Amino acid sequence: MTSTEQQPSQSSVNGASAAKTLEVTEPATGRTISSVPVLDRDGVARLVERARAAQPGWQALGYKARGDLMRDMRAWIVANRKRVIETLCRESGKTYDDAQLELFYCADALGFWAKRAPKWLADERERPHSPMLAGRKVINRYVPYGVVGVIGPWNYPLVNNFGDAIPALMAGNTVILKPASATPLSSMLMAEGMREVGVPDDVFAVANGGGGEVGGALVDAVDMLHFTGSTEVGKRLAEQGATRLLPLTLELGGNDPMIVLRDANLERAANAAVFGAFQNSGQTCISVERVYVEADAYEPFVAKVVEKVRELRQGVPGTGGTVDVGAMTTSDQLDILDEHVRDAVDKGAKLEAGGLRGEGPGQFYAPTVLTGVDHSMKVMREETFGPTLPIMRVADEDEAVRLANDSEYGLDSSVFGGDHAHAERVARRLESGACVVNDSLVNYFAMEIPIGGMKQSGVGARHGRIGIQKYCQRQNLVVTRFGLDRELYYMPYSKRNTKLTELMIRALYGRGARR
């Protein structure tokens, strides 16, 4: 029996009643690998109550003690890396190397937030600008919300679930994580690790169960929500949360363009396009979903991409370095992907590679390259979220930019060009919350700066200062140390004070414009 082929212990699901269970299937083989107890609405409410009771103690521990626990958790993840990677591979169908990248991110993030939290959440003292505040102490301070809900997707069961819980915890919140129903096991493993390293009870809990019931119950009970998932569900949660003004951040879908300029290093651009489109079987929110190539570079770029894609090894995740493209995590997404490819072919696109579902019980789809595509096709307009790479010839960079921006989404994008200053100018014209020049996907690791969506791709961001400050309320704190008995603006109002105030306004602001 492997580590994932087991009934999770009662404690590992944080008090879920075992009355209802969730079957976890291995997408690469179709086998059921685990059965996980799920919560109902009352169970969620009880979990939130316990998390709320645990929060003041967790906050009172302070940054140093919380940071030490996060670093202990980092050591735990590294010590248990084989088990973590195996769990990720089995529940999601991703390759060993894709899972290893998730582990890399989380290990890095634990230390990063442990170090940055005290700096980015420290009191911000400002010198007051207004004469009304002369001599006062003016402070912006950060106060954790209390109980934060994190609802995450199945494509990155570690990064976009536990990874988002780390800054919330470092800020002093307790966290309840609801992973996607398809991939609960790695989150439960993180809960086990947190307990083993000594994180107090009820500080980090996993709430398993269906989106509507358990996710919905969380939205009704937590003090702040961070959601990663589809734009459709994100909008629904925003609507539900609005009835009680729930603060939330939303990391949603994308349809990310790549632009290849005529002077680009085509070998690098082709390698990055293949990585950006097929890593994690194309199930990355910031995957390269469509490519626009300037006419002069089009033929050689396509030839290089097709040659590389035909060499990709697809299969059941094995040991590191043996499989390039894994399985699709859900059968629903496999159907969407197939429908998008059929739609493109029906409208005249040419299949340069792939275009077929795998045979057998595993949820595989052959890495697919399409040419002859245009914006009437779903592969170019919607999020396909699978191993596809549609490539379109464009006359020049203006056409590339226009088509790249012709989307309801604005998550990530990339530009390849030999003159990087020129490529950067093109990048600045793109309507996406992130853009990377001469690479793909790597900007997710730039944790010092925010990354989040424009347009329908989200509200708020992760990473950077805002990536932890969003988990806090702000308190505007003004301290009067040397107060007079009466301020000029106190009651009762008098003609004398009205006159004095007027003189002050004229002296300070009345000297005309532009001076």
CB of 496 to ligand NAP, least distance (A): 59
Nearest to 433 by CA among 453, 450, 447: 453
Residue closer to ligand NAP by CB (options 90, 393) is 90
**Would residue 285 show up in a list of annotated catalytic residues for this protein?**
yes
Q: Which two tokens stand for residue 229?
A: 């998932």
Helix, strand or coil, per DSSP, at residue 267: helix
Residue closer to ligand NAP by CB (options 67, 215) is 215
Distance of CA 162 to the CA centre of its chain: 11
**Interface with ligand NAP (CB under 6 A), residue from 96, 113, 142, 156:** 156
**Interface with ligand NAP (CB under 6 A), residue from 15, 111, 210, 450:** 210
List 26, 251, 289, 352, catalytic entry: 251
Helix, strand or coil, per DSSP, at residue 155: coil
**Would residue 435 show up in a list of annotated catalytic residues for this protein?**
no
Burial category of 347 from C-beta neighbours within 10 Å (exposed 0-12, middle 13-18, buried 19 and up)? middle
List C-alpha distances in Å: 293 to 46, 127, 418: 54, 51, 14
List 89, 106, 285, 435, catalytic entry: 285
Question: How many residues in the shown chain lie near ligand NAP by CB under 6 A?
Answer: 32
**Interface with ligand NAP (CB under 6 A), residue from 25, 92, 155, 438:** 155
CB of 285 to ligand NAP, least distance (A): 3
**Interface with ligand NAP (CB under 6 A), residue from 67, 215, 355, 386:** 215
**Interface with ligand NAP (CB under 6 A), residue from 37, 146, 282, 458:** 458
CB atoms within 10 A of CB 46: 15
How far apart are the C-alpha atoms of 266 and 81, rounded to whole Å? 36
Q: What is the DSSP letter of 280?
A: G
CB of 94 to ligand NAP, least distance (A): 13
The beta strand positions in 314-457, using DSSP E, are: 350-353, 368-371, 388-394, 409-410, 414-416, 436-437, 454-455
**Interface with ligand NAP (CB under 6 A), residue from 51, 89, 114, 151:** 151
CB of 151 to ligand NAP, least distance (A): 5
CB of 367 to ligand NAP, least distance (A): 19
Residue closer to ligand NAP by CB (options 254, 417) is 254
The kind and range of the H/E element at 176 are strand 174-178
Chain residues 377-416 in contact with ligand NAP, contact rule CB under 6 A: 383, 385, 411
Residue 152 binds to ligand NAP (criterion: CB under 6 A):
yes
The kind and range of the H/E element at 195 are helix 185-197
Residue closer to ligand NAP by CB (options 217, 293) is 217
List C-alpha distances in Å: 315 to 325, 352, 363: 7, 20, 10
List C-alpha distances in Å: 224 to 82, 116, 476: 33, 21, 19
CB of 183 to ligand NAP, least distance (A): 8
For the chain, the helix, strand and coil percentages under 3-state DSSP, each to the nearest 5: 45, 20, 40
Task: Fill in the per-residue mask, 227 to 266: x = in contact with ligand NAP (CB under 6 A), - = not in contact.
Answer: -xxx--x--xx-------------xxxx------------
Which residues make up the interface to ligand NAP (CB under 6 A)?
A: 151-156, 160, 178, 180-181, 210-212, 215-216, 219, 228-230, 233, 236-237, 251-254, 285, 383, 385, 411, 453, 458
Q: Name the residues annotated as catalytic.
A: 251, 285
